[in-house]
Amino acid sequence: MSNTYTLLLKILPRPLANIALALWYLLIMLAIIDRSAVPFAGFIYWDR
Amino acid sequence: MTDFEIIHFLWLVATCGLTWLLPARWQTDLIAASTLCFIGLLAPWSALWLLGASLLVYASYRAPLGIRPRMTGASVLLIATVFLVYQGIEAYGQASWTIPAMIGLSYYSCRHIHVLMEIYKGNLPSMNLRSYLHYQFFLPTLVAGPIHRYPNFIRQCERRRWDRAQLTGGMERILYGYAKVIIIGNYLLDLELGRILSPLAEHFAGLWLISAKDWLYLYAVFSGYTDVALGFSLILGFRIEENFNAPLKAINLIDFWQRWHITLSSWCRDYVFRPVQAITRNQFIAVSAAMIALGIWHQLSLYYLLWGLYHALGITLCRLYQLHNDPLGLRRLPPLLRHGVTRSATFTWLTGGMPLITTLLATGTI
């Protein structure tokens, strides 16, 4: 079980925790996809 | 995300999927084969050197006892030289030179040297070529670390099994890792904060602020990539060593270097600091050697040589403060104020390195 899900189960009943987790992951994934368009800054460790 | 990152991510996903479809006895072979194909396609010279050096390390392990110490010593020298020459060419080579990409060189060179040093000390558990290739050709940690250790990896190979909790935990860690890299690191810190701070670069205080931003950016991006590596390792059933342990909570510089890039810091402690201290019996020389090694691991340049010396000086001052039993009486302060003072002082020293060295180099003082 993921840490976030464990945390959500402490404060919410299981069905609500499931929905909250799905929405939270969706939000992060959308933010990642959206911000991926930003030019990559050149992480110094990648090419070595 | 760059094309390289997307290919790396998709390759890892495919490797994880295929691994759990195969019978257990072939799974680690598949991971190693997949890694060899990945690095062979994207950086063939790096693949050749990784394979060649792995065979050299194994030959050192199998060498007769009489010549083993000399062979391990020669192998360490060769691997370190190749790494440093490549670093030097990368730093000082002319723009017209075509330098082959050596993906993961910084990390696998450290892993080779770790194994060679353990062979030299006689601490290594029994090793065969297959298990050594599994250790070196491990895709999740190949390109951005951590510099995990051989004995722990072998233990993990023996214990690993399918576990749904590890799968969900690993997937979440990968998601948070990419969020740290892309949203916090690349977007918020580098792009947005960088845009605000860039006009200040002409002043010393401005450089200091940019340095603080750079440390935060490095932390977000590097710990993010570590999360991705550890998340994929977890999905494959491996618990690899952590690389960061809340470094911003460090109460002094010694504490900081035990929390920041832990696998590299502990590598420098075991294979540079301790041997140099045993030979010289001088902690300052040993700390300087370890921090210079840590600096030139990033780049073989005057800047990183001075960077290493600067942090060695910080650690030495911190150690002297401890040895003189808290001369400023910080322990008598209320805990909240004490933590505020010590953490601010630590972060101020850390971030002061870049503006100080850049200014010294730019004014021609050094």
Task: State chain B's mean pLDDT as an integer.
Answer: 89
Residue pLDDT, tens place only, B244-272 = 999 988 888 999 999 999 999 999 999 99
Is residue A44 one of the residues assigned to a domain? no
Where is pLDDT greater, at A30 or B125?
A30
Q: A31 in a domain, yes or no?
A: yes
| pLDDT > 90? residue B361 | no
Q: Do B182 and A32 touch (CB under 8 A)?
A: yes
Helix or strand holding residue A9 (H, E): helix A3-11
The pLDDT score that the predictor gives to residue B171 is 92
What's the CA gap between B245 and B229, in Å, rounded? 16
Least CB–CB distance from B186: residue in A40, A44, A48 = A40
Question: Is residue A47 a part of any domain in this protein?
Answer: no
Q: How many domains does one find in chain A?
A: 1
pLDDT band at B334 (very low <50, low <70, confident <90, very high): confident
With contacts defined as CB-CB under 8 Å, which chain B residues touch A38? 182, 186-187, 191
Q: What is the pTM of this model?
A: 0.88
On the question of pLDDT at B200 being above 90, the answer is: no
Q: Which of B165, B169, B186 sits opposite A41 (nearest CB)?
A: B186
C-beta atoms of B182 and A45 within 8 A? no
User: Could you say which residues from 1 to 48 on chain A have a Cβ atom under 8 Å away from some Cβ of chain B?
Assistant: 1-5, 25, 28-29, 31-32, 35-36, 38, 40-41, 43-48
User: Rounded to whole angstroms, how far apart are CA atoms A20 and B111?
Assistant: 42
Residue B366: predicted pLDDT: 59
Determine, yes or no, domain membership for A8. yes
Task: Using the predicted structure, report yes or no on whether residue B345 has a pLDDT greater than 60.
Answer: yes
Can you give the residue range of the structural domain that contains A11? Answer: 3-35
Residue B19 near residue B121 (C-beta atoms within 8 A): no
What percentage of residues in chain B have a pLDDT greater than 70? 99
Answer yes or no: is pLDDT of B365 > 70: no
Determine, yes or no, domain membership for A13: yes
Instruction: Give the ipTM.
Output: 0.76
Higher pLDDT, B324 or B94: B324
Indicate whether A30 belongs to any domain: yes
In angstroms, the Cα distances linking B8 to B142, B144, B232 are 10, 11, 11
Q: B303-325: per-residue pLDDT in tens? A: 889 999 999 999 999 998 888 88
- DSSP 8-state class, residue B163: -
Q: How far is B7 from chain A (nearest CA, A)?
A: 13
Evaluate whether residue A24 is within a structural domain. Answer: yes
Residue A40 lies inside a defined structural domain of this protein: no
